[in-house]
Amino acid sequence: MVTRAESAAVTRRALLDAAAELLDLGGPEAVTLREVGARAGVSRGAPYRHFTGKDSLLTTVTTESWQRIAGQIHALRTDPALPAATKLRGALHALIRVGRDQPHLYQMLFRRSGHRPEELGEGLDRVRRQLCGPADDPVADRMRAAGRFQDEFLAIVTDLVGERNTRHYGALLLASAHGIADMELSGHLGTGELRTTADELVDTLVRMVVDAGATT
């Protein structure tokens, strides 16, 4: 016999899956609690029992995506059979692949914090929320998940360039990956004067970082 908690977990999972599908199909504007409920095949009031609103629902979708990507990077980082350069290449491709396959989700992942009242805050208040926010706080959960991804990614970078240079090259690599994903999506790679691919650019980035690490 299915318990009430188990039934609620199944409904919540169906709502999150439906929201992710609608986001992929039409962007954030396509995600409404009514449409999510209809796609999930639940009652009209069910979404409101699990999420306070659309923002809460989309934030949870984003959190799960960060957790999934962080898990992929962790698997790369801890694989003893992979050279450090291969781990970095795989991590960059993992990010670019999301931009390629799920562009609306990708934009949600990198949306600048502070666009909604619950995301405002600076200094110690924001750090406290990230580290100590309650388990049912969607924004705090999202920040923790994104932080886990960043920690895993920077650990890979550290193995190549050393701890002193980690944040500098980590920022360079993430900014470059973001630009590559955006230019690929907009069709600017492989045409006109550029005539290159995301894979070629990633290979160049990895070689640059490997060379930088060899000279430090």
Bigger pLDDT: 137 vs 98:
98
Q: State the pTM of this model.
A: 0.85
pLDDT for 171-202, tens place per residue?
999 999 999 999 988 888 877 777 889 999 99
Helix (H, G, I), strand (E, B) or coil at 162: coil
The CA distance from 17 to 195, in Å, is 37
pLDDT for 34-68, tens place per residue?
999 999 999 989 999 999 999 999 999 999 999 99
The CA distance from 176 to 206, in Å, is 11
**Percent of the chain at pLDDT exceeding 90:** 72
Alpha helices per DSSP H over 102-165: 103-109, 123-132, 138-161
Bigger pLDDT: 1 vs 44:
44
Alpha carbon distances (Å) from 70 to 41, 75, 95, 99, 190: 30, 9, 10, 15, 29
Q: Which of 189, 185, 213 is nearest to 201 (CA)?
A: 189
Token pair belonging to 125: 């208040």
Q: Phi/psi at 27 (nearest 5 deg)?
A: 80, 180
- CA geometry: angle 89, 93, 97, nearest 5 deg: 175
